[in-house]
Amino acid sequence: MSPASSLAAAAADTRVAPGSADYRRISLALFLAGFSTFSLLYCVQPLLPLFAQAFSIGAAQSSLALSLSTGCLAVAILAASALSERLSRRRLMFVSMALAAALNLAAAWMPSWPGVLVARALEGLVLGGVPATAMAYLAEEIQPRGLGLSMGLYVGGTAFGGMVGRVGMSMLSDWMSWRAAMQWIGAIDIAVAIGFALLLPASRHFVPRAGVSLGEHVAQWRRQLAHTALPAVFAIGFLAMGEFVTIYNYAGFRLMAPPFSLDATRCGLIFSAYVFGIVASSTAGALADRFGRAPVIVAGLATSAAGVALTLDASLAVVIVGIALLTIGFFITHSVASSWVGLLAQGAKSYASALYLLAYYVGSSVLGSWGGQFWQDGGWHAVAAYALALLAAALACVAYLARAARRVTRPAGGAHTA
């Protein structure tokens, strides 16, 4: 496509252009959606050692407070993607965010461990209405040349939410009970849901598809799975998220034990490394729009691997640098992979987004829980070896994807597909 025809196509595109007022409103609203999802999901992560003490359970059992939520979210995403083809995307995301915040409040009031797990599982189910719908909304409403940056800002919101959930909960749980701390997070996210609803414009390019049968939904999912390149993107999300959650789940157990012996607040402050993820995700999206997605993902995976290796050191300072690096690497990988799904998807984009996020959250739930066995059986060296193996598998997927994406037609607007 010539420069002149590219400009003409951009002028004819009625989707939201980068730099416009609506682009800024959408970006901020989706930043809040990402914040809400990850602050609610991961606020329990720094509490896992406290759960183990309070309910007399092991590390793998305590991780169920997180893995059940992410596992249920993964299942719910498929149903949510189908609903999002019929219902208002804006309303579905708002209701999901508000209900999830209310369920976080309920989890804080549960007197028994099974009660906490039930509330957390339900929280994951209702949160399923946010991620796939958010990705589909952006892919439909934003011009391709601005999609990488807007998706990066959404992922930046998840990074900020994850940081606030972890660091904020760690600090609050030192000042008050873990139950009161969870109530604070729930109240904050109810306010965030209201702000989201006030900011996000209604969809302009979404056409509801009423009366779609289950068979048609299944056919759409099969269509995305039959795509030349998309399954490899799904696998990257699965593996990268599994590695990331494994390290974050069990780093607290390591850092609160000798020789580090950190308290909850100091341990939680280490997870401020999430702030690097906020910057990395938005920067990676812009770089991928300019230079192509495969090289940027490779850089992200390599950065994560270097970070995991550094966490093996006996120096706390080196471990902190390692956690910062693996956080940067993960958010580079996830941000670019998320936008790649929107560019490669065929037909109804919410189905492709749902499958990516299904893989992503199953990776968090299943691979993250398996990491607990490595911790219990072999200590931190076993956890690190497991994480590095996951990253190596993700790198193999990128090598395949770079070749497969070249055979896929480049979307309008000249955005890079590889």
Question: How do residues 313-361 score in pLDDT, each as one tens digit?
Answer: 999 999 999 999 999 999 899 989 988 887 787 666 778 888 898 898 8
Residue 385 forms part of a structural domain: yes
Given this model, what pLDDT does residue 384 score? 97
Given this model, what pLDDT does residue 265 score? 78
Given this model, what pLDDT does residue 208 score? 61
Given this model, what pLDDT does residue 418 score? 59
Using CA atoms, how far apart are residues 351 and 362, in angstroms rounded to an integer? 16
Residue 14 forms part of a structural domain: no
pLDDT digits (tens, 9 = 90+) for 24-69: 999 999 999 999 999 999 899 889 888 988 898 887 788 899 989 9
Residue 78 forms part of a structural domain: yes
Q: Cis before residue 259, ω within 30 degrees of 0?
A: yes
* Residue range(s) defining the domain that contains residue 327: 19-203+214-405
Residue 13 forms part of a structural domain: no
Given this model, what pLDDT does residue 138 score? 86
Given this model, what pLDDT does residue 25 score? 92
Given this model, what pLDDT does residue 218 score? 81
Given this model, what pLDDT does residue 207 score? 63
Given this model, what pLDDT does residue 115 score? 95
The parts of the chain modelled with pLDDT lower than 70 are 1-12, 84-86, 205-213, 346-348, 405-418
Residue 413 forms part of a structural domain: no
Domain CATH code at residue 65? 1.20.1250.20
Neighbours of 106 (CB within 10 A): 18
Nearest Cα residue to 91 out of 137, 123, 48? 137
Q: What's this model's pTM, rounded to 2 decimal places?
A: 0.74
Residue 397 forms part of a structural domain: yes
Count of domains observed in the chain: 1
Residue 396 forms part of a structural domain: yes
| φ, ψ of residue 167 in degrees (nearest 5) | -70, -45
Terminal CA-to-CA distance of the chain, rounded, Å? 17
